Each structure stands twice: as structure tokens, then as C-alpha cells.
């Protein structure tokens, strides 16, 4: 039975004083959860309570209008694995087997890549070895062929210059030849060498062994014992050329360079009386017998003296035989170049090649 004083309060708003442990009395004792008080005594009850913060966070009302940022969900490999096990009914044994198969496949791929790389490296090494052996064989073959063809006068001494371009070259070292026989040796070089028709041959006259050099023009004139007048000899430049042009027969020639046209012209006119004799052996002019010496007088008679002529608009002096055939001619073609030869064909060829040299130098 309720007390009399509270009977009239039945049905009114009542509340439980002890619904939360946060409300404690001053004496530290907690009120009974079922004790009820009337509203008029609630203030007194509250004023006598000590507030102690609760460790439990109150839930947020559903109708709250406060905007809250949704909590980020962080998934880990462990979470995914557990989910996969639950959804697909996997066991730890199934996972271990799958991982083992994955590692096995990766090892196979690595082995295949390693094997492929090793084969490629071996092929590359073999290729370089073959290339090295082929290069060595090519160099050896080239050296062997050059040694076998050393007797062929083709570009043997590239460092020596030439007044005109020639296809065939050879050298004649005066240090290895008896001086009295030099003219005969040179004659053999010019007249007995065999080269294709239309080819030009250059016989380098050199001296020295370890250090070779070309003999200059004055040395050559003295060595050949030419009776060239001093007025012309003093104008000679060092460069000169002795060679042969292959046509229907070997056609020898000499090219000299001069520094004074006037003195050279005067000197050449004075040399005409000795030209046929001086060039009889090396050019093998009529009256010269190879190996038998001179068999007839070589001094020009009044009937066969040098006369004027023109070849390719160049003034020349020509010596003819009784049949009016040219046997010797010379010309100062550009006020500094003298050509002495036996035929108008070789004279034209030399002029053509000299013009080409001038064009290349421009």
C-alpha cells in the first residue's frame, strides 16, 4: 500500500530518481532505482546530486540535423581474406595450395626468362667470335694477296706525289743501280712493262732506303747525262715525271716544270741538236737497237730537223723521219710545263689529264 501522501499522485508524471548511476547523493550512496518522488520534490533531489561524467557516449538522436563525416572504412588483406573464406567457403588448406601453385608458376617463368637470356648471351658471344675470325681471315688474305702481287706496279708508293693521275706506278731506286746502266734500266721499265691499253704508268725515280724521296729534276738530268743547256736547266723546278702511255705500243714521255717560259724556250731551242741522241735509249727511237747500242748516226741531218706544229691548239716542235712520221716532239704547253714524248696520241692524253688535275684543284 502506498502511503497516503502519494495516493493522490498516482497517474501523474512520475520519474525514477535512480535511473542513472550518475546521480549520487552527497553521502556517496546511490538511490534505489525504483524509488519515486513527486515532481515537487525533484528539484530538491537534483540539487543534492553530484554529477559524474559517464564513460559511455550517448547515442546520437535519429532526427539530429548535425552533419557528420562518415567514418572511413579501412580494409586490409586480412579482412579480404576472411571475407573470401566466409563467402566462398575456402579453408586455410585451399589458400596454401593456391599460394603454392602461384609461387610454382612464378618460378617457372623466372627459369624460362633466365634460360632465354642465357641462350641469347651465348648466341651473341658466338656471333662476335665469328665476326672476329672473319675479320682476321680477311686481313690475312688481303696481306697475302698483296705480297703475291708485289711485282705488279699498282699504287705501290702512295705517299709519293705525281703530276698527273696514273693507273700504274712503280719505283726505281738509283741507290741500287750502277749509274752507268741507269738509262738502260729505265728504258726497260718504260718499254717492256705490260699494262692494258689506255693505261698510264709512272716510274718514280727515288733515292734512300729507310727514308725515300723523289729525285728532283736537276738530279735526273745529270744522272741521264742529258746535254740540256744551262739556261734551261737553271729554270727547272724540282717536280718532274717519267712515264709511259699504253696505246698500240708503249709510248714513253717526260714532264718537266719550269719557272721561266722565256729562258726555257730559248734553252729548248738550243737543246734540239741533242734531243734525239739524249732520248734515243730511254725512248728507243729509230736508230737504237735494244741491247746492241746505237746502230746509226743520231745527229739530225738537215733533212730531219725539228719543225713547228700544233696539237690541241698547243705550239709544239716536231722531229719527223724520212716518211714524215713523228719520232720525237716537245711543247711548252702553259708557260711552265714541258712535255717531251714520241707521239701525238700520248701528248693529247697528257694534256687531257693535266686539265683534269687543274679542275680538281679549283
Q: What is the pLDDT of residues 205-215, one digit of tens each?
A: 999 888 889 99
Pick the range with the lowest mean pLDDT from 50-59, 154-163, 187-196, 282-291.
50-59
- Band (pLDDT 50/70/90 cuts) for residue 4 is very low
Cβ–Cβ < 8 Å for 57, 37: no
- Band (pLDDT 50/70/90 cuts) for residue 232 is very high
Domain extent listing, the chain: 11-50, 111-150, 168-361
Q: What is the pLDDT of residue 286?
A: 85
Please give the C-alpha separations between residue 327 and each of 186, 203, 260, in angstroms, as whole numbers.
Answer: 19, 22, 27
Residue 305 predicted with pLDDT over 50: yes
Average pLDDT, the chain: 74
Q: Against a cut of 0.75, is the pTM above it?
A: no
Q: What is the pLDDT of residue 216?
A: 95
Average pLDDT of 205-229?
92
Residue 341 predicted with pLDDT over 50: yes
Q: Which residues pair with 214 in a beta bridge?
A: 206
Cell numbers given for 146: 698483296
Residue 159 predicted with pLDDT over 50: yes
Strongest mean pLDDT among 101-115, 126-140, 307-321: 307-321
Q: What is the pLDDT of residue 298?
A: 45
- Band (pLDDT 50/70/90 cuts) for residue 101 is confident
Q: What is the pLDDT of residue 79?
A: 67
- Tell me: the pLDDT tens digits for 62-85? 444 444 555 555 666 566 656 665
Q: What is the pLDDT of residue 161?
A: 80
Q: What is the pLDDT of residue 130?
A: 85
Amino acid at each position: 500500500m502506498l502511503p497516503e501522501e502519494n495516493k493522490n499522485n498516482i497517474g501523474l508524471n512520475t520519474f525514477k530518481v535512480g535511473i542513472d548511476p550518475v546521480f549520487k547523493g552527497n553521502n556517496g550512496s546511490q538511490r534505489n532505482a525504483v524509488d519515486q518522488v513527486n515532481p515537487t520534490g525533484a528539484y530538491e533531489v537534483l540539487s543534492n546530486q553530484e554529477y559524474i561524467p559517464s564513460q559511455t557516449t550517448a547515442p546520437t538522436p535519429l532526427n539530429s540535423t548535425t552533419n557528420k563525416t562518415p567514418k572511413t572504412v579501412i580494409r586490409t588483406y586480412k579482412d579480404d581474406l576472411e571475407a573470401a573464406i566466409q563467402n566462398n567457403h575456402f579453408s586455410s588448406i585451399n589458400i596454401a595450395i593456391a599460394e603454392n601453385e602461384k609461387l610454382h608458376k612464378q618460378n617457372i617463368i623466372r627459369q624460362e626468362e633466365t634460360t632465354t637470356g642465357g641462350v641469347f648471351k651465348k648466341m651473341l658471344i658466338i656471333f662476335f667470335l665469328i665476326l672476329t675470325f672473319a675479320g682476321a681471315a680477311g686481313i690475312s688474305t688481303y696481306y697475302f694477296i698483296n705480297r703475291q702481287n708485289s711485282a705488279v706496279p699498282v699504287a705501290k708508293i702512295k705517299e709519293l706525289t705525281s703530276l698527273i693521275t696514273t693507273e700504274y706506278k712503280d719505283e726505281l731506286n738509283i741507290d741500287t743501280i750502277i749509274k752507268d746502266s741507269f738509262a738502260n734500266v729505265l728504258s726497260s721499265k718504260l718499254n717492256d712493262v705490260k699494262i692494258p691499253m689506255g693505261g698510264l704508268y709512272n716510274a718514280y725515280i727515288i733515292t734512300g732506303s729507310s727514308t725515300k724521296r723523289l729525285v728532283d729534276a736537276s738530279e735526273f738530268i745529270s744522272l741521264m747525262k742529258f746535254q740540256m743547256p744551262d739556261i734551261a736547266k737553271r729554270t727547272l723546278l724540282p717536280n718532274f715525271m717519267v712515264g709511259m702511255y699504253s696505246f698500240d705500243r708503249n709510248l714513253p714521255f717526260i714532264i718537266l716544270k719550269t719557272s721561266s717560259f722565256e729562258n726555257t724556250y730559248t734553252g729548248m731551242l738550243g737543246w734540239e741538236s741533242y734531243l734525239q741522241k739524249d732520248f734515243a735509249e730511254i725512248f728507243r727511237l729509230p736508230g737504237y737497237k735494244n741491247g746492241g747500242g746505237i746502230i746509226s748516226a743520231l745527229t739530225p741531218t738537215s733533212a730531219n730537223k725539228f719543225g713547228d706544229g700544233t696539237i690541241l691548239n698547243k705550239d709544239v716542235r716536231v722531229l719527223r723521219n724520212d716518211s714524215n712520221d713523228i719520232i720525237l716532239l716537245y711543247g711548252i704547253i702553259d708557260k711552265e710545263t714541258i712535255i717531251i714524248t714520241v707521239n701525238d696520241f700520248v701528248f693529247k692524253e697528257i694534256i687531257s689529264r693535266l686539265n683534269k688535275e687543274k679542275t680538281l684543284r679549283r
